[in-house]
């Protein structure tokens, strides 16, 4: 995807999966690409439809949670584009977990029972529900790997005040509860997810995407208990299957490791899994829209012109 130049543009940043344009230091234009990352590394091949899937799910979920907390989003002028307020981000990711899965399970297997200040109960199996969801924040690294961090460390390092932490944690718990309810209505379990927040003036806003397969893990609810009782793998919709494939091919983003070859068939499988999650969680058919760069530019500039007078 080409790099655009918009009227009033003051900055451009190409992230792991999005291209972000700052307009007048007031608005952000986020273009979701088809790039895919894992272990904080951008994989070499794009995944068709992925950007549209992420952007459309995120927009839908942001609109369905405005009663819980305000968010940055103002418009989605194209399937893979979101425009909203430019916030000063908290340099932490609010990770919340309902089940002992992924990084939490790997930590548990290693014998540790303290994860970011949250105490993990004894006697749990992989994928078991926690008695109550736990928040396990991480630092948001500009480069390299994010690191686990406790609430006490967040406050001590000035990443958030004690009052701000209380607000962030309350928002996180309420958003996760809403996400679980929305998932349950579609036959899914929202297992874990992450939220990012920032400040717009004195107001704390929810930023970025939420409840997408890049930021969340979903299990199918049907058969969950039976699979748990038999210690079988859970049927899931998330990006974890990509991480598992990389681990099986000796790649975890560490120095000297080489990303395995991504065959056309494997790329097609990843694409179909993203589309499957979209259709499962929304109940709607996914329609891929291949807009030209000229069409995309026109839609974005038209949206920005409408936002000109907004504070």
Integer Cα distance of 73 and 273 in angstroms? 26
pLDDT of residue 1: 67
Per-residue pLDDT of the chain (311 residues; tens, 9 = 90+): 678 999 999 999 998 889 999 999 899 999 999 999 988 888 999 999 999 999 999 999 999 999 999 999 999 999 999 999 999 999 999 999 999 999 999 999 999 999 999 999 999 999 999 999 999 999 986 655 679 999 999 999 999 999 999 999 999 999 999 999 999 999 999 999 999 999 999 999 999 899 988 889 999 999 999 999 999 999 988 787 898 899 999 999 898 999 999 999 999 999 998 898 899 999 999 999 989 999 999 999 999 999 876 65
Fold of 89-240: D-amino Acid Aminotransferase; Chain A, domain 1 (3.30.470)
For residue 180, list its beta bridge partners. none
Whether the CA torsion 77, 80, 82, 83 is positive or negative: it is negative
Q: Would you state the structure tokens that stand for residue 57, as one six-digit string? A: 């799910």
Other C-beta atoms closer than 10 Å to the C-beta of 214 total: 21
Integer Cα distance of 234 and 102 in angstroms? 12
Integer Cα distance of 144 and 166 in angstroms? 28
CA-closest candidate to residue 53, choices 235, 276, 269: 276
* CA angle, 249 then 35 then 11, to 5°: 135
Sketch the domain layout of the chain as residue ranges. 89-240
pLDDT of residue 145: 64
Helices 50-63 and 264-282: angle between axes, nearest 10 degrees: 20
């Amino acid at each position: 995807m080409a790099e655009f130049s918009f009227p009033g543009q003051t900055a451009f940043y190409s992230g792991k999966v999005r291209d972000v344009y700052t307009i007048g230091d007031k608005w952000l234009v986020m273009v979701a690409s088809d790039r895919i990352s894992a272990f904080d590394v951008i994989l070499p091949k794009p995944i068709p439809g992925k950007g549209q899937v992420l952007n459309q799910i995120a927009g839908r979920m942001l609109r369905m949670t405005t009663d819980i907390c305000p968010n940055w989003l103002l418009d989605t002028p194209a399937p893979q584009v979101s425009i909203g307020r430019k916030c000063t981000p908290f340099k932490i990711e609010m990770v919340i977990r309902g089940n002992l899965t992924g990084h939490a399970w790997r930590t548990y297997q290693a014998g540790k029972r303290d994860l970011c200040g949250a105490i993990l109960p004894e006697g749990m199996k992989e994928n078991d529900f926690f008695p109550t969801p736990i928040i396990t924040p991480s630092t948001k690294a500009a480069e390299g790997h994010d690191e686990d961090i406790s609430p006490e460390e967040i406050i001590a390092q000035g990443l958030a005040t004690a009052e701000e932490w209380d607000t962030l944690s309350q928002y996180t718990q309420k958003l996760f509860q809403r996400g679980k309810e929305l998932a349950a209505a579609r036959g899914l379990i929202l297992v874990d997810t992450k939220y990012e927040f920032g400040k717009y003036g004195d107001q704390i806003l929810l930023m970025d995407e939420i409840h997408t397969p890049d930021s969340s893990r979903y299990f199918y609810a049907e058969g969950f208990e039976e699979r748990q009782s038999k210690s079988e793998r859970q049927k899931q919709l998330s990006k974890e299957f990509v991480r598992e494939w990389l681990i099986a091919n000796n790649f975890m983003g560490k120095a000297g490791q080489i990303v395995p070859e991504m065959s056309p068939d494997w790329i097609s499988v990843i694409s179909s899994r993203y589309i499957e999650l979209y259709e499962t969680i929304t109940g709607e058919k996914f329609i891929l829209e291949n807009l030209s760069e000229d069409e995309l530019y026109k839609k974005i500039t038209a949206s920005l012109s409408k936002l000109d007078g907004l504070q």
